[in-house]
Amino acid sequence: MLSCKQATELMSHEQDRTLALSERIGLRLHLWICAGCANYRRQIGVLRSACRRFGSGGTP
Amino acid sequence: MELDRQSELNALRPDLLRFARLQLRDAGAAEDAVQETMLAALLGSHAFESRSSYKTWLIAILRNKIIDIIRGQSREVAASSLADDEAGDDLLSESLFDQRGHWQPETQPGRWADPEASFEQQQFWAVFEACLDHLPAKTARVFMMREILGFETGEICKETGISSSNCWVVLHRARMTLRACLETNWFAGVGG
Ligand SMILES: [Zn+2]
């Protein structure tokens, strides 16, 4: 089973490259049982949205 | 009604300069990019109805200027200099995870309340910029090339002379650091 530390690495990598099947399965199983990492994944998604917004001049 | 572009441009100049400085971390180069952007803007003949649409247009020009500057620079983010950025990240990692690599009870991420509402507040963006500004310089360069300027990781490798795997690790560290910074300085206080 992945540790949370390893899971956070994979959640970042999936924003930059295609994960291998074994990585995808490992991550999915981990997210199934770990609320902290599931929240982390949403949060780095928010971070990405914020960067897009900032980079396109869409800030108030 | 058409916008008074000249006065809006002057009003938006500090925003443009902050944006360029964040990306380039070089006051002179940032100034040049903004000058060129303002010149291009004054020569352009588009009409704009709102400050926000004008700002979007200006930022798009400025981004292209910044991308040109980065592409013209020599490869200066050698892998060895990235190592200087790593010490602080290891400390963050130690504070977040226990010895088995699981979240500490007090650091486990919770829910962030309504990010879209935060995006509408100027105060949020001040925190966001401060968090970006606190990243170590080389890490910041790689992260902003990827997430703000929209480079693919392959091109980041080419422009900076680091390997793909190194690039992915740097991006991971940057996200982890920024997430923690936004958590501490913004979201923990917004219904957290
Ligand atoms: Zn976990």
Domain ranges of chain B: 1-75, 76-192
Q: Mean pLDDT, to the nearest integer, of A52-56?
A: 95
Burial class (CB in 10 A: 0-12, 13-18, 19+), A14: middle
Does any CB of chain A come closer than 8 Å to the CB of residue B130?
A: no
Interchain pair A53, B58: CB under 8 A: no
Residues 20-59 of A with CB under 8 A from B: 35-37, 39-40, 42-44, 46-59
Residues 6+ apart with CB under 8 A from B100: A3
Domain ranges of chain A: 4-55
Fold of B76-192: Arc Repressor Mutant, subunit A (1.10.10)
> pLDDT digits over A5-33, tens only?
999 999 999 999 999 999 999 999 999 99
Fold of B1-75: Rna Polymerase Sigma Factor; Chain: A (1.10.1740)
Under a CB-based contact definition with an 8 Å cutoff, are residues B12 and B59 in contact? no
In this prediction the pTM is 0.90
What local confidence, expressed as pLDDT, does residue B84 receive?
A: 63
> pLDDT digits over B77-135, tens only?
555 566 666 666 677 888 899 999 999 999 999 999 999 999 999 999 999 999 999 99
Q: Is the pLDDT score of B4 beyond 70? A: yes
What local confidence, expressed as pLDDT, does residue B75 receive?
A: 61
Interchain pair A43, B146: CB under 8 A: no
